[in-house]
Structure 1
C-alpha cells in the first residue's frame, strides 16, 4: 500500500505541471475531429512515459545520460522539433468532422515522440525522482510502485485528451481554442529558447 500511494503521489507530482507534452496532448483532443483520431498522440505519449519510467527504475537512463555528447545531441534535436511543433500548433485550427485540417497520425506520433523523449528536463526529472525513489523498494513493492506510476501516466494522458475534446464541444471551432493554440505555440517556443539558453549556461 505504501509503494502504491507513493507511486500515485510521485507520478501526479511530476506530470501535473504545465509542460509541452501536456499541452500537445490536450491540443490534439481539442483539434481532432473525434477522440479516436487523437489516439496516436495519446498512446505514443503514454508509451514513451512507460518506457522512461521502466528505464528509470532499472537504471538504464542514468548510464545513457553520463555521455555528455548524447545529452547535447538530444537537446539540439529537441530544440529543432519544438520550434517546428510551435509553428504547426500556431497554424492549426480546431477541425470539424468533415475537415482534414488536423494533424495526421504520422505527425502526431512524431511530435509526441519528440516532446516525450527529446526533452532533457523531463528525462532528468523521471530518472532523478522516480528512479531514485524506486531504490527504496524491492521485489513486489518495486513492481507495485512502477506499475502505479505507469497507470497514473496513462490515465492522465487519456484524461487530457478527453478534456480537450470536451472543451471543443463547448467552443466548437470558435475563438477560445484558437487563442489556446496561440498561447500553446508561444509556450512551446519559450521552452525551446530555454533549452537553447541552457546549452550556453
Structure 2
C-alpha cells in the first residue's frame, strides 16, 4: 500500500467534497428528516467512486503518453485549485450560511433517489472535481499508485457522506451558524492553495 498517495487522495477528495453545495445541503436535510438516508448516501458515494475511477484511469492513460498533456494538467489543476481556494476564502469573508429546511413532507424512495441523482449528476462542479481535477492529479501518480489515490479520494467520499447523513442531527445546529461554515471554508481554502502551490512547483 502506498500510504502517502492514499492520504494525498483522501485529503484532496475531502477538501473538494466538504465545500458548501446543493448536494451536501440535500444530504443534510434528508438526515434531519430521517428519510431514505441510507439510499441517499449510497447514491452519492457510488457516483463519486465511479467518477473518480473513470477520471484517474482515463486521464492517467492520456497523460502517460503526452508530456504536453502532463504540463496542461499540472497548470490547469493548479489554476483550478487556486480558484477553488479563492472561492472558499471569499465565503469566509462573506455572509453565507447553510439554511436547513426541515419541513415534514414525506418523500417516496423514488423521489428521494431522483432528487439526489439530479443534484449529483446535473452539477457541473461534480465533473470538474472528480473527473477533471482528481483525474488529472491521480494520473500524475506512478502507475502502481493511481489505484491508491483513487481509493483515498473514494474513502473521503464514503466517510463524509456517512458522517453528514447519519450525523445530521448533531451537525445541523452547529453548521446553521455562519461562523462554523467560515471555519470550514478557511480550512478548505488553505488546503487548496497549498496543493495549488505544490502542483505549480512540481516541474521546477
TM range (shorter): 0.5 to 0.7
**What's 2:54 paired with?**
55
Higher relative contact order, structure no. (Cα contacts within 8 Å, ≥ 6 residues apart): 2
Task: Summarize deviations over 1:94-143 as a string: whole Å, max 9, x none.
Answer: x5xxxxx3322111111111111111122122222101101122343111
Q: 1:144 to 1:129 in 2, by over 3 A?
A: same
Select 1:30's aligned residue among 29, 32, 36: 32
- Work out whether 1:138 is the aligned partner of 2:137: no
SS class of match (1:18): coil
Q: 1:90 to 1:30 in 2, by over 3 A?
A: closer
Q: Distance in 1 between matches of 2:161 and 2:39?
A: 12
**What's 2:16 paired with?**
14
Q: Distance in 1 between matches of 2:29 and 2:46?
A: 18
Select 1:153's aligned residue among 152, 157, 171: 157
Q: Is the 8 A contact 2:11 2:156 kept in 1?
A: no
**What's 1:116 paired with?**
120
Q: Distance in 2 between matches of 1:137 and 1:129?
A: 13
SS class of match (1:26): helix
Q: Is the 8 A contact 2:28 2:168 kept in 1?
A: yes
Which runs of no fewer than 5 residues in structure 2 stay unpaired? 63-98, 177-204
What displacement does 1:59 show? 2.1
Q: Is the 8 A contact 1:11 1:152 kept in 2?
A: yes
Q: 1:140 to 1:29 in 2, by over 3 A?
A: same
Runs of 4+ more than 3 Å apart: 89-92, 165-168
What displacement does 1:51 show? 1.3
Q: Distance in 2 between matches of 1:117 and 1:26?
A: 18
**What's 2:43 paired with?**
44
RMSD in angstroms over aligned alpha carbons?
3.0
Q: How many residues align?
A: 137
Q: Distance in 1 between matches of 2:39 and 2:115?
A: 10
Q: Is the 8 A contact 1:26 1:160 kept in 2?
A: yes
What's the TM-score, normalizing by structure 1? 0.60
